[in-house]
Amino acid sequence: MPAKSKTQLIKTDDVPNCEIHLVHLDRVVACQSGIAAISQAQPMADFFAVLSDPHRLRLISALAEQELCVCDLAVAMKMSDSAVSHQLRILRSARLVTYRKEGRNVYYSLADEHIVNLYREVANHLKEV
């Protein structure tokens, strides 16, 4: 039987819920302007979907430290060059990584400091849990 994620193990009965249905209209109105529109939420969901793969997150963690070529990444990740290239292609299409060519080698780095910060913030958050 495949392992289930934590979210799949939570039963509806285990989730705290209001015992009395009481709507606080002032709070609802106050938060509505901050709720993302679907047109904004969908690209964000797509972005997080790219980050949902553990191999891609491991590549990001390596690139958060330094620029690396595909060969180095493949050895570090214990993956084939083609598997690493496939994952990098997905990260590149999401504009999470960038590359430069030097001779016959291709060196990858994270696209900008936002990606490094995002990765580190999530890692720090999970350490606290």
From first to last of its 129 residues, what are the pLDDT tens digits of the chain? 455 555 555 566 678 888 888 888 999 999 999 999 999 999 999 999 999 999 999 999 999 999 999 999 999 999 999 999 999 999 999 999 999 999 999 999 999 999 999 999 999 999 997
Please indicate, yes or no, if residue 9 is contained in any of the structural domains. Answer: no
pLDDT at 62: 96
Please indicate, yes or no, if residue 6 is contained in any of the structural domains. Answer: no
Please indicate, yes or no, if residue 5 is contained in any of the structural domains. Answer: no
Please indicate, yes or no, if residue 91 is contained in any of the structural domains. Answer: yes
Range of the domain at 81: 14-128
Number of domains, the chain: 1
How far apart (Å, rounded) are the C-alpha atoms in residues 112 and 117? Answer: 9
Return the number of other C-beta atoms located less than 10 Å from residue 122's C-beta: 13
Burial grade of 43 (CB within 10 A; 0-12, 13-18, 19 or more): exposed
Please indicate, yes or no, if residue 8 is contained in any of the structural domains. Answer: no
CATH code assigned at 20: 1.10.10.10
Tell me the whole-structure pTM to 2 decimals: 0.77
Identify which of 81, 79, 75, 83 has the alpha carbon closest to the alpha carbon of residue 104. Answer: 81
